[in-house]
Structures are given as structure tokens and as C-alpha cells.
């Protein structure tokens, strides 16, 4: 067994691997960039070394030599499926905790992988996958297979360069655009054509092999709930398969692994038609630990990272296929730094408050009670930026059956609280409650077909009331002068104190308060809302980091955190950023906020400023371009007028909802 292992990764997977290393009594080494110097994974390790980049092979190996690490665990992403890195580890006398470089190379090229597994008897999607097909040959192959067909790049995945072609007239442009994107993404524009499977489901088999000839599968995972080819929710086992199909697919996956001399953890991915579940086709093999490995750990009762370490150290698998027993059902939800109400734009910021209930290592209890696990690399104070993948954490639940697992996951997400960074947790809860998800009627297009671009949800009135009362409470407790408290007191009859509350990405709302925070009348939506808002009794009190609101006879508790002029409130898996809680001096909500304020839809970098102060602009005219996570977003003028303020310049870093420009009257 190794005495010291370096983890060449960051975030939740690094923290996850360190938990197993700690349990096994193995010394752990982290690597980190300058931006991650204060990250959780750095403090979770016994020692940490700064490197220029997580992709710098020489720097990672130098860190391993410097710290005496005998092995390197690559996690997933970065160098995990880099054959050159696996080979360089061997050349340096350091064990790569993963498959041989030759296996990574064989499975890394889709054409070669398909040819290899087909020779081993693994079913593959009908198609043409010869290298060097011209555009004309590719078009002919597509027509020969029969439309619809899927064009896929040979050199990479993640949905980049993939095109679905349903009509012959679309073929030429689809081939050209797929080649362009494949070349830009992978440096290789080789394409293959495959039959498009209708109502496709993405089902993968977890395999494990040792260096002594042992190879097993640990059942399947259903990964059909995807958006833009990125997985959102995964589960084990699949609600589609019966035992006979599961056994056939498992044996096929083991044959694929044996075909390339595989060792360690790997995943063989299949596409299965929901209409014909007994028919399955090989898609690709991921030569690493998968993001969704926890659901397999929960149903199999195994620590896959420990198995990786032991097989890499030369130990045989401690069980055979007959010993594998899968119990119950597990479901995982990925928490992303993204805003579903803004087209799933990537977000960022500082984690102001975090309640995850993260346990130590695989298994354990998290939010929502027994049989819930959270894998996370977050803590309060973590800065979430746009340099890395937006996945922040994973919430996983186990149940005796699928219904119980789904229910436990929903309750866990309801109690998962992250303030300071917009996330998709509320969207995940909506997805779990979709009738087709609950019934197991899944396919890879379900999410975008049913919940593709959710409209911004209205902010509940009690949230807006809590925000206004929080301002009242701060003034009441922070200033001993009773005349400074805007409680509306007047000789004769109390008056109303108006506040303007601006939800992130939403329109400003006037909230009027009469009285003090502990005993008030509150009207959400003033006269400018089109009708007189009803005044209801309300009160607010602080309870540590929480705010307890009684509103119209109903008492609810919010997690709360403040960042400058923005109050964050969280409840039931939802979070609201309520910006610019300014007291209204005159006019209504629209007058106070102004109609021409342009705000950044995401934290990122200003790529270009298209106007100058004093310029006249038309409604819809591009003003500023912001980039985050390699995604560009053009912010346009909401109204016609003159640019009166322009506080940003190209190259500037901006936060979510930062003011980019103000358009006044022309």
C-alpha cells in the first residue's frame, strides 16, 4: 500500500479522495494554483504545493517528487484521461492511479474505441467511423445509414461538435459546422456518423479490473437527465432495465474493458432506446472515476476510490462478480453555479452562508436526514469564479426503493442552503417533481423539452416583506436615536415608510412599512403597482444567522446573509439576492430604480465596451460584452437614450448584477 498520494485535482473530487486517504491512513498531498491558495481542498490535505496550472504535467510530477508522493490520483477532468500524463508518471517512477496509458489512448479516440470493442463482440451503433472520410463520403454514409443520423467528433465529447441531422438538405451545413467546432475544440475535425436512436437513454456500466485478470461490473447508472449533453441527475439502478438486460450489458462492459487490457475504475457508456430497452449500443468508455460514482457506492456498499488505490498498488480485487450485491436505489443531483432563470448563465461570487451537512467520506448523513451524502469542495468564504467547471457539489440520497430515494433527495435539496452564489438547486427540485421523472419515463431530451428555459419565478411577497423589515430591524438595533428610526410615527396617525427592493435580475418593487420590525403592517407593491396593495400584519426577528418572519399569520424562517447593499435570503432550496435595499425618498419603484440601468447577468470579465459616455443609443443596441466560463453574453440597452454613466472598461472584473452602464434621457 502507498504511504503518500498526490491528488492532481481540485474542488469536491479532491476533498472526496482525501477523505478515503485519511481513512486508510495514507498521507495526502494537494496541488493548487494561486487562485485556489485558500480553497478547502488545500487545507484538507496533509501538505499542499502551488503549481502554475492543473494541466501542467511537469509541475504536478515535480510536486510529487518534492513531497515524496508514491502515486498520483487524477480525479476527473484536467489530466485524468491524458495518456501522456499516465505515461509520464510511469517514467518518473510514480504510480498513476488509473488505467494504462495504452488503454486511455485506445478508448480516447471514438473511432478506434468503437472498432476495438466491436471486435470483442460489444454491440455498437450502426454507422461509418473510418478515419479520413471526406465531406462527400460522410454525407453518403449518413444517407446510407438512414436519417436521422448523429454526426460526432472522433477526438472528444461533451457535446461539442455534435450535430443531429434529420433532413438531407441539412447535411452539408451540419458537416461543415461540426468540423469547425470539432477543430476548434479538439484540434481534430475528424467526424463519424451514427444512427440516431429515438427516445435515447444514457445508461452506463461501472467496471473494475485488476492486474491479475480479475474484472467485474458493479451495475449500471441511468444518466438520461441531461441539459446540453451535460448530466444533471444520475441514479442507480436504471428504472428501465430488467435483471436479464442488466446482466447482458454488464458482461458486455467487462468484455470492452478486457479488450484494452484495462485496470482500475472505468465506465462503459451505452445508448439505449426507451422504446426497445433490450437493444443497447456502445457509445464510449470513460477511463477514469465518474462524477456520478457515489450512486454506485451507495447501492454496492463499496468505496470506489479505495478500490482504485488498492488495484493501483497491485492488489487483486477482493471479490468476484458473484459477490456483487446491489441494494436499494440511489439518486444524485449536481449543484451548479448557474442561474436557470437567466438561461443557465454561469454565476459566481463569495459563499456567504453554507449549510450542506457534508459528512466525512463516502456514505454518512447530510441534509435531509439518514442516507444522504454531500460531496463538496465549498465552505463559507469560498470564492466561486469563472476559471473552472461550474459544478460546486453533489447531493446524493439512498432509499430502499426509487420513490424513497427521490423523496429523500428532494428533502435534502430543500435544506441545502448556499447564499452568495446563485445555483440551480431550486431547478433541481422542480425537475425531481416532474411527473415523467417520478415515473421513470426518461430520455436525454426530457429536460430541454419540458423545462428547457424556465421563466424567472416571481419573488414571493413574504421574501420582499422580510427584506424591507430587515432594513427596519437594522436601523432599530443600530441607532439608539428613536427619531432616526423610519417607523412612520407622526403626531395623530402613523405614516407609511416606503422601501424599494430590487430582486436580482428582476424589476424593483415598492414595499411600504408602517410600525416597527417586531410589530408592523406591510404592503408589498405600492400604488405604482397598478392597484393599492393590501396591508398585512408582519413581524421580523433575528435568530443567529436566520430571520424569523411572521407574515399574515404564517411564520417562516429564512437563512440570511448580507454583502454590501445586497441581502441574501434562503429557504426550501431557493435563494434570493435582494439588491439595493434603498429607502424611497420620492416617486415609485420605477422612478427610484431607473429604467436604464444595465447590470451584469453573471460574474466575469468585460470583453468589450461598445459605447462611450454621452453616446446616444437605441433600445436593444449592444453596450457591453461580458465573458464567464468561456461564454460570451452581450448586454444591450433596455431603452433608447444617452449613456450617462459607464463605470466599466474592457478587462475589468465584474460581479453578478454589477452596474455596467446607465442610460438616461437623450
Averages of pLDDT over runs of 10 residues in the chain (666 residues) are 97 97 98 95 98 97 98 96 97 98 93 91 86 91 90 80 92 94 89 88 97 97 93 97 96 96 97 90 95 97 98 98 97 95 87 80 52 96 87 97 97 96 96 96 93 82 96 80 52 78 86 94 71 87 96 97 91 90 43 64 86 92 83 85 92 83 86
Classify residue 353 by its DSSP letter: E
Please give the C-alpha separations between residue 516 and each of 473, 485, 522, in angstroms, as whole numbers.
8, 8, 10
Amino acid 130: pLDDT? 80
Q: Where are the domains of the chain?
A: 4-97, 102-122+203-326, 126-195, 328-440, 461-593, 597-664
Amino acid 483: pLDDT? 44
Report pTM: 0.84
Same fold, 102-122+203-326 and 328-440: yes
Classify residue 40 by its DSSP letter: H
Cα Rg, the chain, nearest whole Å: 27
Q: What is the third-level CATH fold of 126-195?
A: Dna Ligase; domain 1 (3.30.1490)
CA distance 444 to 200: 6
Contact 506, 459 (CB under 8 A): yes
Contact 329, 235 (CB under 8 A): yes
Residues 6+ away with beta carbon under 8 Å from 370:
none
CA distance 287 to 268: 9
CA distance 7 to 116: 31
Q: What is the third-level CATH fold of 328-440?
A: D-amino Acid Aminotransferase; Chain A, domain 1 (3.30.470)
Please give the C-alpha separations between residue 320 and each of 250, 267, 291, in angstroms, as whole numbers.
13, 18, 24
Of 326, 236, 254, 245, nearest to 280 by C-alpha is 245
- Exposure pattern of 544-562 as b/e (b: 16+ CB <10 Å)? eebbebbbeeeeeebbbbe
Residues 6+ away with beta carbon under 8 Å from 422:
337, 338, 339, 347, 349, 504, 575, 577, 656
CATH for the 597-664 domain, from 3.90.1150.10, 2.40.50.100, 2.40.37.10, 3.40.50.80: 2.40.50.100
Residues forming beta bridges with residue 561, ordered by sequence position: 568
Of 542, 544, 552, 469, nearest to 512 by C-alpha is 469
Using CB atoms within 10 Å of the CB of residue 614, give its burial: 0 to 12 exposed, 13 to 18 middle, 19+ buried: exposed
Q: Is the peptide bond before 295 cis (omega within 30 degrees of 0)?
A: no
Around Cβ 317, how many Cβ atoms within 10 Å? 19
Cα 283 from chain centroid?
Answer: 23
Q: Say which CATH architecture domain 461-593 belongs to.
A: 2-Layer Sandwich (3.30)
CA distance 517 to 525: 18
CA distance 601 to 347: 8
Please give the C-alpha separations between residue 120 and each of 115, 217, 253, 623, in angstroms, as whole numbers.
9, 16, 10, 57
Amino acid 282: pLDDT? 94
CA distance 476 to 303: 53
User: Which grid cell sits at 452?
Assistant: 428547457
CA distance 613 to 644: 6
Classify residue 465 by its DSSP letter: H
- Exposure pattern of 443-474 as b/e (b: 16+ CB <10 Å)? bbebbeeeeeebeeeebebbbbbbbbbbbbbe
Amino acid 359: pLDDT? 54
Please give the C-alpha separations between residue 559 and each of 334, 337, 394, 569, in angstroms, as whole numbers.
22, 19, 21, 6
Q: Is the peptide bond before 352 cis (omega within 30 degrees of 0)?
A: no
CA distance 511 to 501: 7
Residue range 4-97 in CATH 3.40.50.2300: no
CA distance 426 to 335: 10
CA distance 27 to 270: 37
Residues 6+ away with beta carbon under 8 Å from 571:
556, 557, 558, 559
Strands (E), 111-243: 127-128, 149-153, 163-165, 191-195, 200-209, 215-227, 230-236
| Structural element, H or E, at residue 308 | helix 304-312
CA distance 623 to 613: 11
3-class SS of residue 616: strand
Q: What is the CATH number of domain 102-122+203-326?
A: 3.30.470.20
Please give the C-alpha separations between residue 456 and each of 169, 257, 343, 504, 555, in angstroms, as whole numbers.
37, 46, 10, 10, 25
CA distance 385 to 630: 12
Amino acid 491: pLDDT? 59
Amino acid 495: pLDDT? 83
Of 594, 422, 574, nearest to 500 by C-alpha is 594
Torsion region of 121: left, alpha or beta (phi above 0 gives left; psi -120 to 50 gives alpha): left
Which string of DSSP letters, residue by residue, matches 409-430?
A: HHHHHHT-EEESS--SHHHHHH
Amino acid at each position: 500500500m502507498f504511504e503518500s498520494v498526490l491528488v492532481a485535482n481540485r474542488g469536491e473530487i479532491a476533498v472526496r479522495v482525501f477523505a478515503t486517504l485519511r481513512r486508510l491512513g495514507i498521507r495526502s498531498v494537494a496541488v493548487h494554483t494561486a487562485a485556489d491558495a485558500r480553497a478547502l481542498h488545500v487545507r484538507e490535505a496533509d501538505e499542499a504545493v502551488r503549481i502554475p496550472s492543473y494541466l501542467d504535467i511537469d509541475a504536478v510530477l515535480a510536486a510529487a517528487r518534492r513531497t515524496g508522493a508514491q502515486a498520483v490520483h487524477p480525479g476527473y477532468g484536467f489530466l485524468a484521461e491524458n495518456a501522456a500524463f499516465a505515461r509520464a508518471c510511469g517514467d518518473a517512477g510514480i504510480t498513476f492511479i488509473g488505467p494504462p496509458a495504452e488503454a486511455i489512448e485506445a478508448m480516447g479516440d471514438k473511432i478506434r474505441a468503437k472498432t476495438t470493442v466491436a471486435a470483442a463482440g460489444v454491440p455498437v451503433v450502426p454507422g461509418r467511423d473510418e478515419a479520413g472520410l471526406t465531406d462527400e463520403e460522410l454525407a453518403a454514409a449518413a444517407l446510407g445509414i438512414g436519417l436521422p443520423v448523429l454526426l460526432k467528433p472522433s477526438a472528444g465529447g461533451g457535446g461539442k461538435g455534435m450535430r443531429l441531422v434529420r433532413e438531407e438538405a441539412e447535411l452539408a451545413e451540419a458537416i461543415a459546422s461540426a468540423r469547425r467546432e470539432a477543430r476548434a475544440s479538439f484540434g481534430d475535425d475528424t467526424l463519424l456518423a451514427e444512427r440516431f436512436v429515438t427516445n435515447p437513454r444514457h445508461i452506463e456500466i461501472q467496471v473494475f479490473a485488476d492486474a491479475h485478470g480479475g474484472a467485474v461490473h458493479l451495475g449500471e447508472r441511468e444518466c438520461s437527465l441531461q441539459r446540453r449533453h451535460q448530466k444533471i441527475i444520475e441514479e442507480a439502478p436504471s428504472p428501465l432495465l430488467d435483471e436479464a438486460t442488466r446482466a447482458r450489458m454488464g458482461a458486455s462492459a467487462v468484455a470492452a474493458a478486457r479488450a484494452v487490457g484495462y485496470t482500475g475504475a472505468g465506465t462503459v457508456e451505452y445508448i439505449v432506446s426507451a422504446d426497445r430497452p433490450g437493444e443497447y449500443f456502445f457509445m464510449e468508455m470513460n477511463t477514469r472515476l465518474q462524477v456520478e460514482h457515489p450512486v454506485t457506492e451507495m447501492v454496492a456498499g463499496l468505496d470506489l476510490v479505495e478500490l482504485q488505490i488498492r488495484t493501483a498498488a497491485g492488489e487483486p480485487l477482493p471479490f468476484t462478480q458473484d459477490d456483487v450485491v446491489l441494494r436499494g436505489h440511489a439518486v444524485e443531483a449536481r449543484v451548479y453555479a448557474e442561474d436557470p432563470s437567466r438561461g443557465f448563465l454561469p454565476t459566481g461570487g463569495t459563499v456567504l452562508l453554507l449549510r450542506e451537512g457534508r459528512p466525512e467520506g463516502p456514505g454518512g448523513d447530510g441534509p435531509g436526514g439518514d442516507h444522504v451524502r454531500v460531496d463538496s469542495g465549498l465552505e463559507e468564504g469560498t470564492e466561486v469564479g469563472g476559471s473552472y467547471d461550474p459544478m460546486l457539489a453533489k447531493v446524493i440520497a439512498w432509499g430502499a426503493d426509487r420513490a424513497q430515494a427521490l423523496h429523500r433527495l428532494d428533502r435534502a435539496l430543500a435544506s441545502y442552503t448556499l447564499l452568495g452564489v446563485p445555483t440551480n438547486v431550486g431547478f433541481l427540485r422542480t425537475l425531481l417533481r416532474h411527473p415523467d421523472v417520478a415515473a421513470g419515463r426518461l430520455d436525454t431530451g426530457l429536460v430541454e423539452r419540458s423545462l428547457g428555459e424556465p421563466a424567472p419565478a416571481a419573488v414571493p411577497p413574504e421574501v420582499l416583506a422580510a427584506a424591507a423589515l430587515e432594513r427596519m430591524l437594522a436601523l432599530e438595533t443600530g441607532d439608539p436615536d428613536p427619531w432616526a428610526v423610519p417607523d412612520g410615527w407622526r403626531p395623530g396617525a402613523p405614516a407609511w415608510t416606503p422601501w424599494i427592493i430590487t430582486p436580482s435580475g428582476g424589476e424593483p418593487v415598492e414595499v411600504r412599512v408602517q410600525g416597527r420590525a417586531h410589530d408592523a403592517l406591510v404592503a408589498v407593491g405600492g400604488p405604482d403597482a397598478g392597484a393599492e396593495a393590501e396591508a398585512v400584519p408582519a413581524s421580523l426577528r433575528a435568530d443567529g444567522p436566520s430571520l424569523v418572519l411572521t407574515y399574515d399569520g404564517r411564520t417562516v424562517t429564512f437563512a440570511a446573509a448580507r454583502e454590501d447593499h445586497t441581502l441574501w435570503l434562503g429557504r426550501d432550496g431557493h435563494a434570493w439576492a435582494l439588491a439595493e435595499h434603498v429607502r424611497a425618498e420620492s416617486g415609485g419603484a420605477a422612478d427610484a430604480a431607473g429604467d436604464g440601468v444595465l447590470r451584469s447577468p453573471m460574474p466575469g470579465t468585460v470583453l468589450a465596451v461598445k459605447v462611450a459616455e454621452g453616446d446616444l443609443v437605441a433600445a436593444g443596441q449592444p453596450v457591453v460584452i461580458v465573458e464567464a466560463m468561456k461564454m460570451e453574453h452581450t448586454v444591450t440597452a433596455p431603452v433608447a437614450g444617452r449613456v450617462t454613466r459607464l463605470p466599466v472598461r474592457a478587462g475589468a472584473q465584474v460581479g453578478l448584477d454589477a452596474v455596467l452602464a446607465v442610460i438616461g434621457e437623450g
